[in-house]
Amino acid sequence: MNTLRNQMYGLVLSMLFALLATGYKAYNSLEKYFFYENQISYGKKVLAETKKIIKQKHSNENFQTLQKFRQQLDENKRQENFSKVVQAYGERKTFETKKNLDFFAKSEKKYIEFAEAQYPFLIQQFRFYGVITLALASFFIFGILVFVQISFLKPIKDLNRKMIDFLNEKYTYQFIVPKNNEMGNLQSTFNSLAQQVLASIEELKELDKAKSEFLSIASHELRTPLTSIKGSLSLLQQGIAGPLPESAQNLVNIANVESERLIRLINDILDLTKIEARMLPLKQDWYELDKLLNKTIDSLKGLSEAAHVEICYSPQSTYILQMDFDRIQQVLTNLLSNAIKHSPENTQIHIQVLRHENGQLKICVKDQGRGIAPEDQELIFQQFRQATSEENPLVKGTGLGLAIAKALVEQHKGLIGVESKYGEGSTFYFTLPHWRKMSDKAPTLLPEEKLAS
């Protein structure tokens, strides 16, 4: 396998070899330049010191100094010429010593001329290889960056994009065949996992479709006999079959209440299946918020009085919203009825209208109940789920109300949520995007008022 590690090692080693070769050439040129410079300086020093020694009285110390001078001269020819000076001095031949010293001085002059002639070439060679070394170093850095970009950063970015697509439920991109290296193995693993997820999603879609079809068929099949049962019970309550004993009347009342509950449950299931199938159209228009709130509060007056709970709403400004009036009333009814069920006696439920941080209009329903634990706050918006605990027992209901409310609000492009601290009550809210303050124009009408007009 042509791994990225092997590719990186090959690139680094080849570039280092090239850098070392050109760098050595540049260093060698510079070293020769300083070597010639030092030898010229040293040769001049040797001539000057030797002339002083010859003028002095002969001594072994001076003889040893001349021998040291000879050893530090670089070329054999120079050492040979200076050896004649040392030999003549050792034999105490003054004339011969001066003659040999003059000859050495002439040879040094030629050496200096030769060395100085090498300076321009050595400097040019140093600059040439130095520039090549710097260029190779720059190219090496650029090559490493390009290699990292192509082999690591780009594949990681692509893989990250695919993961984000998965988080955002976008599964439409094409799977590519990864390269045979470490990043390719990572992409291949992700591709395998992604394909398994997609296969599971398709299976879940089929199961969900089957569930929705079953619920829809079952609900329709149940609605017809339940409607007949409800009608029959109503006739019995009206005394069409004659007067009923009190015990029988109580049983009929219980059956009537429970049949109404079953019909509401069936209607909720049908609404949910329509929403999931995107077959629930919205009839949106502009309506006054105050009319929506007042109508909903009036419809729940009996329930709130029976629970000894007061619903409080004091409008600060008059707003109109673009919405499906009946569906948003269904959302608000669900939130208020839940608040009533969870509120202790002799407490208040407050309705507030605020502006959300995203600019949408925010309608809040705040109760004084037990509150909801953090781990249950997401759970309660799921189908057939309710928040329960030892301190907060299951309240009678289907567990569909909040799921339907969430779907309806999201179909309006709004948000729904809850803010709660256990033991301190809860604030349920939803937002609607299209709103404005009421103008001096003609007031908006309720759906039934529009039909009447």
- Domain total for the chain? 3
pTM as predicted: 0.52
**Domain housing 217:** 203-276
Two tokens, residue 447: 């759906």
User: Which of 214, 249, 276 lies at the terminal end of a domain, its last residue?
Assistant: 276
Indicate whether 210 and 324 sit together in one domain: no
User: Which of 257, 276, 295 lies at the terminal end of a domain, its last residue?
Assistant: 276
pLDDT score recorded for residue 387: 60
Q: Which residues pair with 285 in a beta bridge?
A: 323
Quote the CA–CA distance of 84 and 337 in Å, as a whole number: 122
Indicate whether 155 and 266 sit together in one domain: no
pLDDT score recorded for residue 442: 46
pLDDT score recorded for residue 323: 94
Indicate whether 402 and 332 sit together in one domain: yes
User: Which of 276, 311, 337 lies at the terminal end of a domain, its last residue?
Assistant: 276
Q: Is residue 193 in some structural domain?
A: no
pLDDT score recorded for residue 152: 76
Indicate whether 305 and 446 sit together in one domain: yes
Indicate whether 232 and 348 sit together in one domain: no
CATH number, position 244? 1.10.287.130
Q: Is 420 exposed, middle or buried (0-12, 13-18, 19+ CB in 10 A)?
A: buried
Q: Is residue 374 in some structural domain?
A: yes
Q: Is residue 255 in some structural domain?
A: yes
Indicate whether 232 and 106 sit together in one domain: no
Mean pLDDT of successive 10-residue segments in the chain (453 residues)? 71 84 87 83 82 80 82 78 83 83 83 83 87 87 83 79 76 61 75 80 82 73 79 80 80 82 78 74 89 92 91 83 93 93 92 88 92 83 66 56 90 92 89 82 54 50
Cβ atoms within 10 Å, residue 288:
19
Cβ atoms within 10 Å, residue 356:
17
Indicate whether 148 and 214 sit together in one domain: no
Indicate whether 143 and 213 sit together in one domain: no
Quote the CA–CA distance of 15 and 45 in Å, as a whole number: 44
User: CA distances (Å), 12 to each of 15, 27, 412, in order?
Assistant: 5, 21, 58
pLDDT score recorded for residue 321: 92
Q: Is residue 394 in some structural domain?
A: yes
pLDDT score recorded for residue 366: 94
CATH number, position 316? 3.30.565.10
15-35 CB burial, b ≥16 within 10 A, e <16:
beebbeebbebbeebbebbee
Indicate whether 443 and 372 sit together in one domain: yes
Q: How far is CA 266 from the centre of its chain?
A: 42
Quote the CA–CA distance of 230 and 218 in Å, as a whole number: 18
Indicate whether 260 and 289 sit together in one domain: no
pLDDT score recorded for residue 72: 77
Q: Is residue 198 in some structural domain?
A: no
Indicate whether 71 and 100 sit together in one domain: yes
**Angle of CA points 91, 94, 100, to nearest 5°:** 90
Indicate whether 117 and 248 sit together in one domain: no
Q: Side by side, which strands form the sheet with 426-432?
A: 309-313, 347-355, 361-366, 426-432, 416-420
